[in-house]
Structure 1
Amino acid sequence: MEFLTHELAQEIVERTMKILNRNINVMNAEGIIIGSGDRERINQIHDGAVLVLKKAESVEIDESKASELKGSKPGINLPIRFNNQIVGVVGITGEPEQIRNYAELVKMAAELVLEQSFLLERVQWKQRLQSEIVNQLISDEHINEVWIKERAGFLGIDLQQPRAAMVLKHSGKQETTNQQLISAIQFELGKQDLTGVTFNDEIVILKAGSQFERKAFLNRLVKAIKEKTIVGCGSLAETIKETKTSFQQAQRVLMLGQKLEPDADFYLYEDYRLEVTLSKLAQTEQAGNAFSFYDRLLEQDKKGELAHTLDFYIKEGGELNKIAESLFIHRNTLRYRLDKITELTGKDPRNIKNLMELYIAKILNDLR
């Protein structure tokens, strides 16, 4: 496996030369210069590096030795080790006596950049594999459970655990990339949680476990992200095949929640089960005809007082004292408004069946 690429070698050179006012060369495992402050030397054989690779130790080259070695100048060349093997050579140009104190620092910097690059590549590989698994679990296509369990096994993920699907969406101006957003929430995720980006550029979390407190988790999640982000959460999927349903619920409740409660940070399917069901009815022509009585209310309610009162009546469960206090009105005023709603719609909010019809009509209107 090739650990040192031309791009990585040049990155080592540029990072190191910012600190030291000396030319730096990086050679691969064949002793070829693949990164240098002197671009004309790239792709040349460096005999000093070849010597380092043969001896497996540092080599100092003074003026006299440099004249005997091809592609070499006075300096110190040191082996770059990774995973207990020599993968290349880093050289610092200059008289050995003058640069000896810097040589080990240059070697350390080169190995650190290499290790960081390897770790980053590993993290990116894991994230790509997670995204692949997530997209398979939520897709409409047939799931190959053997294949997907094998892939999950590489990551130490047990797909038999129940999971709730969550969909994250930027609200407002998007300045953070999906990868930055995923990085921001990593510390809130468990070892068995899966994250991925769908083909439609949606960020999905498959949160493992049935015992976690969802609202507390979602609160922590949105706080971990600097930019305004909203989340839709589906119900718990007990099996692999139910994961797609949980994801679809998360999508729907996220879309509906933004219309019904635009100031909320997250939406749970369990809290909007009725609204999600009604959203399908809202797309039909029959819905408009069946609940046209609500249109009469909106036509006459120019200031929006009656609709606002109905909202509070529903939220407070018909408790008149609480409703009056919340609206800062007298109970008699509240009764007058309820009578007016009844007069305009033919539906009395104080009757449970009528109230249900009013609420359904309101939801359908909001969703149109």
Structure 2
Amino acid sequence: MFELDHVLAQDIVDRAMLILPFNVNVMDCQGLIMGSGEPERINTRHEGAQLVLANQRVVEIEVQSSPCLKGVQPGINVPLMHDERLIGVLGLTGDPHKLRTYAELLRMTAEMLVSQRHREVQSQWRKQRSDDLLALLLADSGDCPRLLDEAQQLGLKHQLTRTPLLIELTSMQVATMVSEWLLARVPDSWCLSPSPKTVLWCCPAQSGVDPHKYLQKMHTRGWTPVRVAFGVPAQGIERLRKVCTHVTALAAYGRAVLKTERLLLLTRLRLPAMLWAHREEYVIEELLAVVNKVRAKDSNGQLMQTLRSWCEHSGQIQTCADALGLHRNTLRYRMDRISEITEMDLSQLDNVITLYLGVQLMADG
């Protein structure tokens, strides 16, 4: 239920008195002055307003009758309505016979301001409730029928297929602007803030929505992300929740290991990101130990550079050699050296996987 407050009441007064040559008072539903052109009267009781509230009609107060009422000056007092409910009283000080037209204009303007403020409050409540509900939906056990029903009522369309992107930005202010911008331009988007500088954007996978295009537009606006963890399409809350968890792990993996990469794709890095989430376990130490053997024998960094490029190009010798600017025989020599150091036969798939995973878990530098 919407109620007047001091801020709105004084806003009505200030706007009215820019035009009207009379003092204006705004009283709440108890007859207490909430806003006035005479600040000393704020928070005092206005008995004329109480008469309006009791009788739900306009009350005019003449000069001779004003001393009989506490906190009252000559003037006219009119009901302030919202949604057919009496929420307060508007008062104009002066000769009531000369103020009737002004009073009606004031009432019309004030009721428009009240309606506008009410819409703003409703919009803020709706956004806050939507944010809270989305956080619950994407948390554990967030798919209970009650939450899903409320999501449907709020128009959140939980049944849509969505692709989650975790966008890391330079500041909380930029994150807020990006979130508002995406919500305004991409219909049916969900945007949450897992931390002050991040936006979890659940982009609807509908026709014509290309997340890459919006990331490029963000760049042109000066909102270049520090890092973007790009998920895969997911339909249904349970599936989306799992992908969001993977995307969060992917971002953490990128921050720790691939520090210079801005775009992290779950389709390419799902396995190393998953392993990074369990980096304290002994098996991960074994994978890193293999690559550390290479590092220990690599005084100029050539072997590690070669090994990373070899992994990036899926072991394709010519493609990797071209990327490094090497002759393929030079590349073969380096790979043979890596094989010798690690004591691994790189023609064996399990050895290749072990080496690949170790490289993916090794931080840059």
TM-score tier by shorter-chain length is 0.7 to 0.9
Q: Matches of 1:268 and 1:122 in 2, distance apart?
A: 38
Tell whether the 8 Å contact from 1:233 to 1:269 is kept in structure 2 after alignment.
yes
Q: Matches of 2:57 and 2:312 in 1, distance apart?
A: 76
Deviates more, 1:147-156 or 1:81-90: 81-90
Q: Matches of 1:237 and 1:344 in 2, distance apart?
A: 43
Deviates more, 1:95-104 or 1:247-256: 95-104
Partner of 1:150: 149
Partner of 1:360: 357
The alignment status of 1:288 with 2:280, answered yes or no, reads no
Deviates more, 1:41-50 or 1:61-70: 61-70
Deviates more, 1:218-227 or 1:306-315: 218-227
Q: Which runs of 5+ in 2 are unaligned?
A: none
Tell whether the 8 Å contact from 1:253 to 1:267 is kept in structure 2 after alignment.
yes
Q: How many Å apart are 1:29 and its aligned residue?
A: 3.9
Q: Matches of 1:93 and 1:246 in 2, distance apart?
A: 64
With normalisation by structure 2, the TM-score equals 0.75
240, 250, 253: which one aligns with 1:253: 250
Q: How many Å apart are 1:252 and its aligned residue?
A: 0.9
Deviates more, 1:327-336 or 1:126-135: 327-336
The alignment status of 1:186 with 2:187, answered yes or no, reads no
Name the Cα RMSD after superposition.
Answer: 4.4
305, 316, 341: which one aligns with 1:344: 341
Tell whether the 8 Å contact from 1:167 to 1:233 is kept in structure 2 after alignment.
yes
Change (3 A) 1:354 1:20: farther
302, 308, 313: which one aligns with 1:311: 308
Partner of 1:270: 267
Q: Which runs of 5+ in 1 are unaligned?
A: none
Partner of 2:137: 137
Q: Matches of 1:207 and 1:125 in 2, distance apart?
A: 23
Q: Matches of 1:262 and 1:327 in 2, distance apart?
A: 21
Secondary structure at the aligned position of 2:311 is classed as helix
Q: How many Å apart are 1:179 and its aligned residue?
A: 5.6
Deviates more, 1:83-92 or 1:129-138: 83-92
Change (3 A) 1:256 1:206: same
Per-residue deviation, residues 37-78 of structure 1 (Å, max 9, x unmatched):
433322321527855996766x88786786676534466656
Secondary structure at the aligned position of 2:362 is classed as helix
- Opposite residue 34 of structure 1, the aligned amino acid is M
Q: Matches of 2:196 and 2:251 in 1, distance apart?
A: 15
- Opposite residue 125 of structure 2, the aligned amino acid is W
Q: Matches of 2:49 and 2:358 in 1, distance apart?
A: 83
195, 212, 235: which one aligns with 1:238: 235
Change (3 A) 1:236 1:8: same
Change (3 A) 1:290 1:237: closer
Q: How many Å apart are 1:184 and its aligned residue?
A: 3.4
Q: How many Å apart are 1:299 and its aligned residue?
A: 1.5
With normalisation by structure 1, the TM-score equals 0.74
Secondary structure at the aligned position of 1:366 is classed as coil
Q: How many Å apart are 1:186 and its aligned residue?
A: 1.5
The alignment status of 1:35 with 2:35, answered yes or no, reads yes
Tell whether the 8 Å contact from 1:181 to 1:225 is kept in structure 2 after alignment.
no
Deviates more, 1:326-335 or 1:147-156: 326-335
Deviates more, 1:83-92 or 1:142-151: 83-92
Q: Matches of 2:278 and 2:119 in 1, distance apart?
A: 50
Change (3 A) 1:208 1:349: same
Q: Matches of 1:20 and 1:348 in 2, distance apart?
A: 91
Q: Matches of 1:197 and 1:143 in 2, distance apart?
A: 17
Change (3 A) 1:312 1:144: closer
Q: How many Å apart are 1:25 and its aligned residue?
A: 1.9
Secondary structure at the aligned position of 1:272 is classed as helix
- Opposite residue 43 of structure 1, the aligned amino acid is T
Change (3 A) 1:334 1:227: closer
Deviates more, 1:68-77 or 1:151-160: 68-77
Q: Matches of 1:229 and 1:53 in 2, distance apart?
A: 61
Change (3 A) 1:284 1:99: same
Change (3 A) 1:282 1:196: closer
- Opposite residue 212 of structure 2, the aligned amino acid is A
Q: Matches of 1:103 and 1:349 in 2, distance apart?
A: 90
Tell whether the 8 Å contact from 2:31 to 2:88 is kept in structure 1 after alignment.
yes
Q: How many Å apart are 1:20 and its aligned residue?
A: 7.8
Partner of 1:176: 173
Change (3 A) 1:313 1:163: same
Q: Matches of 1:200 and 1:147 in 2, distance apart?
A: 29
Tell whether the 8 Å contact from 1:129 to 1:151 is kept in structure 2 after alignment.
no
Q: Matches of 2:345 and 2:36 in 1, distance apart?
A: 83
Change (3 A) 1:281 1:194: closer
Change (3 A) 1:287 1:71: closer
Tell whether the 8 Å contact from 2:160 to 2:236 is kept in structure 1 after alignment.
yes
Q: Matches of 1:15 and 1:348 in 2, distance apart?
A: 82
Q: Matches of 2:224 and 2:21 in 1, distance apart?
A: 41
Tell whether the 8 Å contact from 1:132 to 1:196 is kept in structure 2 after alignment.
no
Q: Matches of 2:303 and 2:21 in 1, distance apart?
A: 76
Q: How many Å apart are 1:298 and its aligned residue?
A: 0.9
Q: How many Å apart are 1:311 and its aligned residue?
A: 2.2
Q: Matches of 1:109 and 1:177 in 2, distance apart?
A: 36
Q: How many Å apart are 1:121 and its aligned residue?
A: 1.8
- Opposite residue 118 of structure 2, the aligned amino acid is F
Deviates more, 1:43-52 or 1:248-257: 43-52
Q: How many Å apart are 1:306 and its aligned residue?
A: 2.2
Q: Matches of 2:17 and 2:226 in 1, distance apart?
A: 41
Query: Identity of counterpart residues, as a percentage?
Result: 25
